[in-house]
Chains A and B, each alone.
Chain A
């Protein structure tokens, strides 16, 4: 009878010759009042003395040895159910359990390997359910976690320039590493997700679980050192009539505020400075030196090419321009994001399914930039037999991004007084190249093509498209046997492709510039004057993942419950980079191009030098990541009062150049919990629920770039045409992997009939063998630019997370409030390389110093301005001096002051939800405190350098003695080059700014229609959501948004309107 044969097809399992006999097995499914499956129900056959639990789908089977028997169903939060059974048939019986009158909604955490009720979990989990996820509107699922997840910090210090929507650094409970990747592991539907998180449609997501401590995360092993974010997508349920849901919303975002950035000066001032420089003879009038447009006018006036009147006219025109306003007007717009999602879910007795389709269309705030996304998924599950269930799922996603716009950061050296178009609306040329206008202007008369750039034309002509798609196919089988066991096997295959295609019309500057540069002295054109098509390195990826897992679940008597699982997992992820291609003289209408092009010969190029014809050709490459893991997890619970748990995992990967016994790491955890209120001695009536938890364990961080043995990369040299090897790692025989040991202590409580509940968690993370590449002696043959890392430091991170939830009923008004507070501090406990003596590193990098935080911000002490010169005041032997070079040279790191930390040690949120009849209003406030940032200001003389930089502090600078009493901005200088003097200001204490901020993160307002008015709907809801509503309070009075201190502008406000329907 035990012939067992499985044929694996991409997402369909076909079973053959399988028979199972269990005459006395009672099969059933436990569901809620609404027919939803109910997992983890304890089921006891009182007469037959058997105990079991329902699985994720509510299914169970129990051995009945005597009839009739009485079966009890118990589960926290539900009224106990008692049923008498008179006969056992092959039919699956359904048992409905009713929510207990005052019970709290059951929270189930899913680690990606198993799910368990939160009440039995010893580790640190945060569960974000569907309702909480849907309170906000976004294209990116991770964005929705901000402000609602204790211990998860969105650190935007990496946000610079115009990239204000880029993914912030995520820190779960501070740092575990210094130089290795500190991003958490992301798991989607039980497998680590290697793709772009932007491909996930948030409407498909059912819930998210965040694993924070060792007991929670160690099940994910070597990649879990920074915490894990587990994303679970929606599925269908058995015996559920088809439900159709539809969700659509439109988000309108404000235009970015180009006037936010203080690094500018008004046109008249810029022109005044340039005129001064012109008078000082600071512009070399040479073809190969760029000269600002206004200075060209000054030259023309001097040389008599224009008369005074013409000059004044032009000057007045320039003074009235403001490039920012024009740019904002012509090249920015309000962003518009549209999202549509359709879901159909349901199930019959032995079949359940979920289908979803979604599309996102985003128009960026930069004109002609945008992206689209399409998602499709289909999940089918069949119960072939009472003990056997197979699932097949297919996901498809396709993304497109258009990058044709030009943000203000691409002005490429245009001055604020220049314009984009003339009075007649013709695009104006500008000079963004390193040569003189006249050089470019002469081009046509020299037999070359027009050599000017016109930003408006460039935006109009650009045609750059990025496309990617991915298939994800998943098949699983679940087989229950021997009462207490079930075997799970899952296989997942993904494949995807991404490609980028840039087409340059022959009128684009790109083409004209190339043609001109490669026009030979005799006039021959090496590059044909025609369109150019570039295919940028296409990438193909595919992956196979397989997991087999055996679960065991058994109760002994009334009080003992043992659950255990063990299994293994193998994964392979392959990505292939293919060569790109450049097609010259490409004709888009008939798809023809010059196929042969000589990319080797170095031609002479204008205005000087030699160069070969550019090509996107690259050597292809293939990357294979393989991981193999074995894992086990067990827990024992006694009388629902005490729980102990433990886990063990071994992770290996195909590291090259690493000793065989170091290709894997073993990680483990133990934990326990105690429900105090169940003890007889417990007397606190006002605190009916009190539970304490403790866990300890280790997780890891493997750096794949490091090796024990030398590793080389082969390629072909373009000059010698021989195979050459580049040493990618010289090998470090004493290399060890980073390890993070975490202790977690926690208390959970509930009081006032569950109206107030909360948890407090304290953690202590010790990271050892941290790898870093500072301070390596070049004599060993490794330069400072190499990626070699040595085990050089240990780090300790201590913190706590507090979460309090309250719910109150005031007449018809329902008021929920949730307070989250998180605190984290880190300290380097051990650092075994010499102390860094170079001052610049203390400002440009993250200098590691023993007994100090990794996030420290250092600064030069500030003594004010010298009343005589207006420059920073410094002292030599007690006397004020102006020898900045000499003073700077004798400074040591000890002379710097520690100005604070750059990452907020304390942050949190306050969320209030008010429900009144059919209305619901949610307001989320977030705050960050205790951190600082360095704000920008002027460097004396920077306006006078070859590449001038402007700053509005120019107007508040020191101008006459006495100013130093109220002003810290130094005097100006008409030369730029006393760098030491500038460093003493730009890196000084006086520019350190407090980062504390309270912001109105978002507001949501929704109206749910009464079903009686709409008989066809199960649910109809209208909602409005506003995001980035601004700052309520900030510690700095410089008008800087601390979240966007280094960005060109803060993320603009956005407003969404949407509708959600369920049929």
Chain B
């Protein structure tokens, strides 16, 4: 019997190392995120965090470009082309089937999920006293990303902020926890913006003035985005304050007179050495706004006066019209991040609305000076609020072309009957119009979200 006992003991000894034996990672570069560094690496995921920003529908629906009826016909109505063609003419229903599932809504909510995983993990590390000194900075980064995406989503899928109706207007589902099994109903617009502002204010406290690289959020970026949010909400004083803080941290503008004229794209790849960029993102251009189809709107081209260096640096004739080569990405993808040129224009617009015309003109002229060749430059001066506003508006069109801002600008300015514009698409005489205040300034939610998430469609 002793022999049997020995044998059985021997067998169990060999096999009892069980639990430890199974602790080895199945894939060497895979792990469950635990440390603050892991969470930082999740937010450093350039491809997802910086390269697919939530702006595609806004650019597709804006009046910065056109495609010809011939091109429209030639573009096959299959797959993702369907929603793009429908969005181009502001059709009632832009989705026919399952196309368009990988833009805007999905990419933004993916980042929101990551931010939520990171925020929960960072908090757990604090509770277990495992937090590093980077903990709060990473927390700020996650809050920045989450609020930026909620803001960009609100521009596409929610009505424009309106104090009176914001409690009733349908907002976004505000997912603030990572658990994928929880369901979150749509909030109202008021709560959506409140969440964005709260998160950004918190992020401002936590983030360093400047990030190690503009791929990462910084305090300057948080101020800049918050100024953008307030400007959009019509809260000009707050917009001014945060734009001001952003400029004090990131005042640099690029002097276009020093930008060499080269073939192809005018600016270096991935924004290298671009001192204007505060936070870098771009979109992966859908076909209809890709080089294969897009032609720069002739009305936009007409806005550039003699001696404006942007005219040369931004455009290139392509046989059918003009294509855009002035993206700060230095490639075919549009830059949609935040750069100081935009912040100057935000401060100018806020100043103008607040009645501080000299400040508005100073910002405007400062930017123009860097854009127009010295021999052609004439300083703007005026005391007429409407004239200054006109200048700011056309300057935004010239400077922020294909930056994903036009859609929000239209929504904001259309609230003022004096500034409102009507957009028209002309396909060989067949006209499509987008009127100010139209319901179509709010895009329909993706069909998957409605079908599988059960959300109320816009």
Contact = CB atoms under 8 A, between A and B. Distances in A.
Interface of A: 2, 4, 481-482, 485, 487, 521, 546, 548, 550, 567-568, 570, 602, 604, 610, 619, 621-626, 628, 630, 652-657, 660, 663, 704, 707, 709-715, 717, 719-720, 722-728, 730-734, 775-785, 788, 833-834, 837-841, 889, 977, 979
A704 B78 CA distance: 35
B14 interface: yes
Given A712-B38, A779-B453, A839-B97, A621 B175 contact: no
B15 A548 contact: yes
A724 B114 CA distance: 13
B235 interface: no
Contacts of B447: 837-838
Contacts of B184: 779
Contact of B269 (A568, A602, A621): A602
Contacts of B97: 838-840
Contacts of A841: 98
A628 B15 CA distance: 8
A421 B317 CA distance: 42
Contacts of A712: 30-33, 38, 41-42
B422 interface: no
A539 to B, nearest CB: 14
A604 B46 contact: no
Contacts of B78: 979
Contacts of B24: 624, 626, 654
B179 to A, nearest CB: 6
Contacts of A719: 46, 270
Contacts of B48: 726
B181 A717 contact: no
Contacts of B451: 775, 834, 837
A732 B27 CA distance: 19
Contact of A655 (B26, B33, B106, B264): B26
B180 A788 contact: yes
Nearest to A833: B452
20 contacts: A2-B3, A481-B4, A485-B4, A567-B11, A568-B14, A630-B15, A652-B18, A654-B24, A656-B32, A714-B29, A722-B41, A722-B215, A725-B38, A730-B117, A731-B180, A777-B453, A779-B105, A779-B184, A781-B180, A782-B113
Contact of A628 (B1, B21, B98): B21
Nearest to A604: B264
Nearest to B23: A654
B41 A723 contact: yes
Residue with the highest number of chain A CB atoms closer than 10 Å, among B45, B109, B113: B45
B128 interface: no
Contacts of B431: none
A778 B105 contact: yes
Given A628-B18, A723-B44, 19 more contacts: A482-B1, A548-B10, A610-B269, A621-B28, A623-B26, A656-B26, A710-B32, A712-B33, A717-B47, A730-B178, A732-B181, A779-B184, A779-B453, A780-B453, A781-B109, A781-B180, A833-B452, A834-B452, A889-B96
B180 A780 contact: yes
A778 B29 contact: no
B112 interface: yes
Contacts of B46: 717, 719-720, 722, 724
Given A654-B22, A656-B25, A777-B452, A713 B270 contact: no
A717 B44 contact: yes
Nearest to A841: B98
Contacts of B109: 778-781
A715 B42 CA distance: 11
Residue with the highest number of chain A CB atoms closer than 10 Å, among B6, B97, B447, B452: B452
A727 B213 CA distance: 22
A711 B6 contact: no
Contacts of A781: 109-114, 116, 175, 180
Contact of A656 (B8, B31, B45): B31
A788 B331 CA distance: 33
Closest 5 CB pairs of A and B: A781-B113, A777-B453, A568-B15, A725-B41, A622-B28
B116 to A, nearest CB: 8
A280 B3 CA distance: 93
A778 B47 CA distance: 18
B394 interface: no
Nearest to A658: B32
B355 interface: no
A726 B45 contact: yes
A889 B86 CA distance: 14
A713 B18 contact: no
A730 B33 CA distance: 11
B22 A653 contact: yes
Nearest to A704: B26
For the side of the interface on B, what is the size category?
35 or more
Contact of A623 (B28, B32, B110, B264): B28
Nearest to A657: B32
Interface in B382-399: none
Contacts of A711: 30-33
Contacts of A4: 6, 10
A778 B452 CA distance: 8
Contacts of B213: 720, 722
Nearest to A710: B117
B178 to A, nearest CB: 7
Nearest to B95: A838
Contacts of A785: 102
Contacts of A723: 41, 44
Residue with the highest number of chain A CB atoms closer than 10 Å, among B11, B116, B449: B11
Residue with the highest number of chain A CB atoms closer than 10 Å, among B32, B98, B116, B453: B32
B73 to A, nearest CB: 8
Contact of B11 (A548, A704, A728, A734): A548
A720 B18 contact: no
B332 to A, nearest CB: 8
Nearest to B109: A781
B241 interface: no
A481 B180 contact: no
B311 interface: no
Given A626-B22, A704-B26, A730-B180, A550 B11 contact: yes
B14 A720 contact: no
Interface in B177-209: 178-181, 184
B448 interface: yes
A146 B225 CA distance: 66
A622 B45 CA distance: 21
Contacts of B263: 521, 604
A709 B32 contact: yes
A392 B223 CA distance: 72
A300 B447 CA distance: 51
B173 interface: yes
B307 interface: no
A783 B101 contact: yes
Contacts of A568: 11-12, 14-15
A621 B41 contact: no
A53 B35 CA distance: 59
B391 to A, nearest CB: 37
Residue with the highest number of chain B CB atoms closer than 10 Å, among A625, A780, A837: A780
A778 B451 CA distance: 10
B127 interface: no
B123 to A, nearest CB: 14
B77 A979 contact: yes
B8 A550 contact: yes
A779 B42 contact: no
Given A546-B14, A781-B175, A482 B4 contact: yes
A725 B33 contact: yes
Contacts of B428: none
Contacts of B18: 628, 652
Given A550-B8, A652-B18, A782-B110, A624 B33 contact: no
A481 B7 CA distance: 10
Contact of B44 (A487, A630, A724, A778): A724
